[in-house]
Chain A
Amino acid sequence: MPDDRPVAEGERGGALVPIRPITPEPAPLPDPRRSDVDGWGRSERARALCRLLYDPIYRNWFRAEWEGLEKIPVRGGALLVANHAAAIPSDAPVIIHGIETELKRPVYALADFLFRQTPVVGTIWSRVGGVAAHPDNAYRLLREQKELVLVFPEGTKGTGKTYANRYRLHRFGRGGFVEIAMRAGVPVIPIAVVGAEESMPTLWRSSALARALGLPYFSVTANMLVLGPVLGLLGYFPAKFKLRVLDPVSFDVPPDQDRYSRSRVMEEAEGIRVSIQEALYDMLRHRQSVWRG
């Protein structure tokens, strides 16, 4: 049995005053890893490959344009909150790619547990930075690892909505994202995204088919009509993407509390929802064309 307590040099010398053993920082254990997959399943190599492949789509297809990117901190945790659209969301990759290439720091994206159950897709999703949206996962990433975390509080209600309801934000869940930011002591940074709605518009939804397939929604998109049912899943229309980063919202509350005032949480969540909604209306007012921006 090796003794865990370190012994300082002075103890052997017979000093009259016992020298308190100095606890040295324990040497890091040998960690014979073969891959660079971290504890969340993310691999920087997979991310780099993904960025390489996605960059032409980001630049030439969606022609993403940012406004206020300097409001996202270069270090320290922050919770990025955006509106969510398109049956197969096109906004998440654009946001992640933009921030990672411009700010050179990783973004972890929270998503529905459904991803973890899906073979192949779930594994790839996890390697490129997807994390299941468990409050404790978000807390660890924000508080302990001080990372950027992206969340879409509308969830599947945002991506499942039909084209007629585009750019009309749904309820922001039960404000869980505000509570996590409060607990982690990080600001919420709202992002308004224009373009995702038109990249894959939902024309019709079938709740019966969704139930039968065990999916949160089943959409028939315009892309499917144009490109066929298979290509229509991946072929986005080249809508012009514009993203506006709004002012960070900080909450003047102590972190690590068991619970926070429910009314305060709901109020803050609604405030953030309204600010994104207003930014969207403003951006749409100035938009000349869906395709050229």
Chain B
Amino acid sequence: MAGTGRRVLVTGLSTFWGGRVAQALEQDPSVEVIVGLDTEEPTVELERTEYVKADQSYSILKRLVKATRVDTILHTFLVVDSTRSSSRALHELNVIGTMNLLAAAGAPGSSVRSLVVKSSTLVYGAGHRDPYWFREDMSRTSRVGTAVERSLLEVEDYLSDFADDNPHVTVSLLRFANVLGPDIRTPLSRLLDLPLVPAIAGFDPLLQFVEENDVVRAILHVMDRGISGIFNVAGDGRLPWSECAALCGRRILPVLPPFGAERMLAAFDRFTELPPEVLSLLRYGRGVDNTRLTSTGFRYTCTSAGAVDAYAEAARLRRIVGDAPAYRWERDVETFFRTSSAVVRDER
């Protein structure tokens, strides 16, 4: 095979985003090799992506980058939903994992020329002194109070050092707003799933969303065009939390007290899946300016309200027919389809 196409490494292959991005890359004939790294087995069906199992902190990376000579790394595994793991595991995955990744990508003789990192607008926090629309160069006004925000800020620091030290690598950092869509489950989508949607009494914050397909499209957009820099990715407009609930055919229930909600939730920690960063969001909301990315030619397919609606439609269907059967990755089956001579393959 002539080695002319792109060679891409996707971190966090088994996460929602890693799987989606790998599937999209498989459709692109200019991408020759796709290597997916994760600690767990893939959760979506993949045709030509090579899955490599790694340990928690991705220490295998240096060897892997050297052996596969990838030119592009799509770093999609940063954990932004803190209900999914403990704060120590989160630090290990986000901070130590990224450190290992950057060390591998910046090693002498490394073939990596492009690095795209999926971060979150969580780095801006949510506070009463915030501007209504954060631009990429603005810093947060509220105290860093939660483990996930702290780890993402540390990751961004490492990344900016990496970009300074490696001017030959195109580094792009995408900060995604809260994601909603047909398939993804997030702390906010779980709240919208409840018969009565919890809210903080006396507050109706303005939220901003990005639709799940726009997330994948944005990652591929910056990769394809080789655009470097920091970009907010969020749909146009902001809408009140009560309106999000209304779009889902739900009503708001102001059960959370306006003062001391954090302490109350800490007491019920075992029973709720409401992380502290969502609480400050339900109080003050958050808005980001998305014009820097659109000025590079990116077009969204959904506004903020459109993303809520996309989720609401899928949720209505799910309530009637239930969840789609989950995909299970089987090594033997995968090996058969990829290597057996019995499988008839189209010549590419």
Q: Are B306 and A30 in contact (CB-based, < 8 A)? A: yes
Asked whether A9 is an interface residue with its Cβ less than 8 Å from the other chain, the reply is no
Asked whether B24 is an interface residue with its Cβ less than 8 Å from the other chain, the reply is yes
Interface residues on A, range: 20 to 34
Asked whether A232 is an interface residue with its Cβ less than 8 Å from the other chain, the reply is no
> Which parts of B6-34 form the interface with A (CB within 8 Å)?
24, 27-28
Asked whether A32 is an interface residue with its Cβ less than 8 Å from the other chain, the reply is yes
Tally of B interface residues using CB under 8 Å = 43
Question: Which of the residues A26, A39, A114 comes within 8 Å of B206, measured between beta carbons?
Answer: A39
Asked whether A37 is an interface residue with its Cβ less than 8 Å from the other chain, the reply is yes
CB neighbours of B308 from chain A (8 A): 32
Chain B interface: which of A53-61, A134-142, A197-205? A134-142
> Which parts of A12-56 form the interface with B (CB within 8 Å)?
26, 29-35, 37, 39-41
Q: Are A29 and B306 in contact (CB-based, < 8 A)? A: yes
Q: A2-B301, A137-B131 are in contact. List 10 more A-B contacts (CB 8 A).
A: A31-B237, A33-B239, A39-B238, A39-B287, A117-B128, A119-B202, A120-B202, A132-B128, A134-B129, A137-B133
Nearest CB of B to A38, in Å: 8
CB pairs A–B below 8 angstroms (12 shown)? A2-B217, A26-B299, A29-B301, A32-B306, A33-B305, A35-B239, A122-B202, A131-B132, A132-B128, A134-B130, A134-B131, A136-B132
Assembly CA distance A113 to B130 (angstroms): 9
CB neighbours of B303 from chain A (8 A): 29-31
Assembly CA distance A29 to B128 (angstroms): 30
Question: Which of the residues A26, A32, A132 comes within 8 Å of B132, measured between beta carbons?
Answer: A132
A1-B28, A29-B302, A39-B237 given; A136·B206 CB < 8 A: no
Residues of A within 8 A of B (CB): 1-2, 4, 26, 29-35, 37, 39-41, 113-114, 116-120, 122-123, 131-132, 134, 136-137, 140
Assembly CA distance A119 to B128 (angstroms): 12
> Which parts of B116-132 form the interface with A (CB within 8 Å)?
128-132
A32-B309, A122-B202, A132-B128 given; A37·B299 CB < 8 A: no
Nearest CB of B to A122, in Å: 7
Assembly CA distance A210 to B151 (angstroms): 37
Assembly CA distance A41 to B301 (angstroms): 24
Asked whether B227 is an interface residue with its Cβ less than 8 Å from the other chain, the reply is no
Nearest CB of A to B199, in Å: 11
CB neighbours of A39 from chain B (8 A): 132-133, 206, 237-238, 287
Q: Are A4 and B132 in contact (CB-based, < 8 A)? A: no
Which chain A residue lies CB-closest to B309?
A32
CB neighbours of A122 from chain B (8 A): 202-203
In the A-B complex, the 4 residue pairs with the closest CB atoms: A119-B202, A119-B258, A116-B128, A120-B202
Nearest CB of B to A212, in Å: 15
Which chain A residue lies CB-closest to B294?
A26
Nearest CB of A to B242, in Å: 8
Assembly CA distance A117 to B299 (angstroms): 35
CB neighbours of A140 from chain B (8 A): 132-133
Which chain B residue lies CB-closest to A5?
B297
Question: Which of the residues B243, B297, B301 comes within 8 Å of A33, measured between beta carbons?
Answer: B243
Asked whether B247 is an interface residue with its Cβ less than 8 Å from the other chain, the reply is yes
CB neighbours of A113 from chain B (8 A): 128-129
Q: Are B129 and A1 in contact (CB-based, < 8 A)? A: no
Q: Are A29 and B300 in contact (CB-based, < 8 A)? A: yes
CB neighbours of B28 from chain A (8 A): 1
Asked whether B240 is an interface residue with its Cβ less than 8 Å from the other chain, the reply is yes
CB neighbours of B243 from chain A (8 A): 33-35, 37
Which chain B residue lies CB-closest to A41?
B206
Nearest CB of B to A26, in Å: 6
Asked whether B201 is an interface residue with its Cβ less than 8 Å from the other chain, the reply is yes
